Structure 1
Amino acid sequence: MTMLHQAKKVGLPLMNLVRFKGVPILEQLHLEEKLLRASSDNWCIVNDGTNAPAIVMGISGKPSELLEIGPVLQDHIPVIKRFTGGGTVIVDCGTIFVTLICNNEDVPGVQPYPRSIMSWSGLLYSQVFQGIGDFQLRENDYVFGDHKFGGNSQSITKSRWIHHTSFLWDYEVRNMAYLKLPARAPKYRSARNHNEFVCRMKEYMPRSVFIERILKALESHFSVKPINLEAVDGSHMAGYVHFTRLLSKQELEAAMTSVLESRALCG
């Protein structure tokens, strides 16, 4: 870094940047949870795809209401319940994950409430997508026009917050069949099925350009410092207990039994 570049960064809060490619989403979520709870630094995690398809649900999500459990069990699709809120998504190698973990005091003007954090993140990503598509923040989703390509989840502690986004750079149409149409959906969805509701980012921009633009946008708010995984996953965080977990086969089977019993009663 040149002296001029260093001078420009004076006064900006430090943000550690961790870049992955193909790290399992369960491993990434465990890391995020540790960094939110056990670190006092700002972090950005960029994971370019996950190694295998998996379903990720919010902390209050119920498999019986959100998943087509029969096909999920039949095809051995892992189901993860994460420690943050938000909706349900199926992720794979076509998903790009971007997570921001920030101290309240390092993001001026942002209150530690979901709407305030979303408003700030919407402005950040408007820099990323400037001149590309009809980018908007709509009801907590990132969209081009009325088609969703980015879903968000958040968690807020006393002095810190996390904003996690799953970006659909690409997706397999058949995988969307594992997800039910949620009872609580944004109004702009208008009861459209998954394939009518979402779009692929690859139709708008190259994958590498998207990631480069994220880093450039972050540099207008933070002094960004790349860091490797070994430095992140240090011994001071060893033994941390995670709330993010993989649902067992027994739990999914019990949820399926509940669905079948409910259908029998209604029938």
Structure 2
Amino acid sequence: MAISKLSNFRLPLMNLVRMNGVPILQQLQLEEKLLRTSSDNWCIINDGTPDPAIVMGISGKPAELVDVKSVLRDKISVIRRFTGGGTVIVDHGTIFVSFICNKEAVPGLQAYPQPIMAWSSLLYDEVFHGALDYKLRENDYVFGSRKFGGNAQSITKNRWIHHTSFLWDYQDANMTYLKIPQRAPKYRQERDHSEFICRMKDILPRSDFIDRTIKAAETHFSLTSIPLDEIASLYTTNFDPSSTILTAEELEATIETKDKSLLSQAL
């Protein structure tokens, strides 16, 4: 069924939360709480996270996805989030955008991974209108053949979340902490990170991207801005989030025995 837009007076309501530099773990824990305990629709935009951190999907295996020895040596946090998807290293150059919706919020949208991805790509068509060769490729947002946005999702009985880490900028050195995953998208063609990803800052200014994203969301929803500090008072339900930082012991346990003595000498 085709996804249709409603006239303005019938647009579904959505709360907009704009954040600046909130730690990514705090953001993930907030999103899971809103997904599981709220009945409202939400758009959460977080402009950067203070310190570099690696974020893995719920089923990610550190030894297959990251250079564990380097991560431990340099004390880089590794977070296992509550959604699926791949692995990314994020920092102050990353812009995060999340949509948390009831299943009936988008008319005609079936609450399955690929239809949600397709809907999101249409929304970002509005954001990147006129930009160089923007498209959804497999499960990534790309300019041409280079990835600039990675996506993850979780779908519950009545709700879903689709969140994206946008690489507005990044440090090349940070990408060395990541391995090429065994289940990489076909279009990657085994390229290393330097040849596979690109920076959004070469396409449009940071503030323009955020403003355009909000404007695009307003074509689908009626937005109401809510400050971050008001959410706690609105939603007081106790909730135990599943997104967590992996401990050094958990990471060390993934290293082969022959490498552990080398790691202890390096530390």
Normalised to the residue count of structure 2, the TM-score between the two structures is 0.93
Per-residue Cα deviation, 1:66-93 (whole angstroms, up to 9, x for no partner): 0100110000000000000000000000
How far is the alpha carbon of 1:195 from its aligned partner?
1.1
Per-residue Cα deviation, 1:198-255 (whole angstroms, up to 9, x for no partner): 0000000000000000011011100011001122123643431111111011000111
- Measured in 2, the distance between the counterparts of 1:64 and 1:260 equals 12
Structure 2 counterpart of 1:28, which letter? Answer: Q
- Measured in 1, the distance between the counterparts of 2:112 and 2:236 equals 27
**Unaligned ranges ≥5, structure 2:** 1-6, 261-267
Contact 2:37 2:237 in 1 (8 A): no
- Measured in 1, the distance between the counterparts of 2:99 and 2:258 equals 36
Map of 1:250 onto structure 2: 249
Tell me the C-alpha RMSD between the 2 structures.
1.3
Contact 1:84 1:155 in 2 (8 A): yes
- Secondary structure class of the residue paired with 1:234: helix
- Measured in 1, the distance between the counterparts of 2:128 and 2:258 equals 42
How far is the alpha carbon of 1:109 from its aligned partner?
1.4
- Measured in 1, the distance between the counterparts of 2:145 and 2:154 equals 26
- Measured in 2, the distance between the counterparts of 1:236 and 1:29 equals 16
Contact 2:89 2:175 in 1 (8 A): yes
Map of 2:156 onto structure 1: 157
Matched, 1:183 2:174: no
Contact 2:141 2:149 in 1 (8 A): yes
- Measured in 1, the distance between the counterparts of 2:255 and 2:107 equals 46
Map of 2:48 onto structure 1: 49
Contact 2:95 2:167 in 1 (8 A): yes
Map of 1:173 onto structure 2: 172
Contact 1:151 1:165 in 2 (8 A): yes
- Measured in 2, the distance between the counterparts of 1:235 and 1:21 equals 21
- Secondary structure class of the residue paired with 1:230: helix
Matches within 5 A, 1:204-223: 204-223=203-222
Map of 1:196 onto structure 2: 195
| Deviates further, 28-37 or 100-109 | 100-109
Cα distance change, pair 258–198 in 1 and its aligned pair in 2 (3 A): farther
Cα distance change, pair 238–254 in 1 and its aligned pair in 2 (3 A): same
- Measured in 2, the distance between the counterparts of 1:257 and 1:20 equals 40
Cα distance change, pair 129–239 in 1 and its aligned pair in 2 (3 A): same
Structure 2 counterpart of 1:239, which letter? Answer: N
Matches within 5 A, 1:60-209: 60-209=59-208
Contact 2:58 2:81 in 1 (8 A): yes
Per-residue Cα deviation, 1:30-82 (whole angstroms, up to 9, x for no partner): 00000000000000000000011000000000001101001100000000000
- Measured in 2, the distance between the counterparts of 1:32 and 1:196 equals 32
Q: How many residues were matched structurally?
A: 254
The share of aligned pairs that are identical, in percent, is 63
- Secondary structure class of the residue paired with 2:122: helix
Contact 2:38 2:235 in 1 (8 A): no
| Deviates further, 63-72 or 228-237 | 228-237
Contact 1:38 1:237 in 2 (8 A): no
Structure 2 counterpart of 1:39, which letter? Answer: S
- Measured in 2, the distance between the counterparts of 1:259 and 1:187 equals 33
- Secondary structure class of the residue paired with 1:221: coil
